[in-house]
Amino acid sequence: MTTECSQRRCFTPEQKVAILRQHLIEKVPVSALCDQHGLRPNQFYDWQKQLFENATAAFERRPDGHHKRLEEQNAALRAKLQQKDEVIAEIMASHVELKKSLGEA
């Protein structure tokens, strides 16, 4: 726990976002939120500033590792689908051959 937390109430990042959301989306006045949560208005506005300064990260592309993992999963699924297609083609060929041998085709 930091010195800041030991001197006053600590909020998790999730709690901060929830409080900011109440103001930005639900239109709860800052004064009401500060009273409700025991905040100083400048603390609330510092959080809001941090939110907007770091908001671009939500729209940035994920690191290459994430894309690589998705590509690997996609390749594995394609290989599995190809294998199923081959099995179905083999079964259909056997089915057609059987029908021909029975004189149904």
Which of helix, strand or coil describes residue 53?
A: helix
What global pTM score does this model have? 0.52
Mean pLDDT value of segment 6-33: 90
Predicted confidence at residue 56, as pLDDT, reads: 86
How far apart CA 1 and CA 99 sit, in angstroms, is 76
Q: Are 49 and 55 in contact (CB under 8 A)?
A: no
Would you state the pLDDT for residue 3?
Answer: 43
Mark 38-52 as b/e (b = at least 16 C-beta within 10 Å).
ebeeeebeebbeeee
Residue 63: its pLDDT value, please? Answer: 64
Helices (H), 1-105: 3-7, 13-24, 30-37, 41-54, 64-102
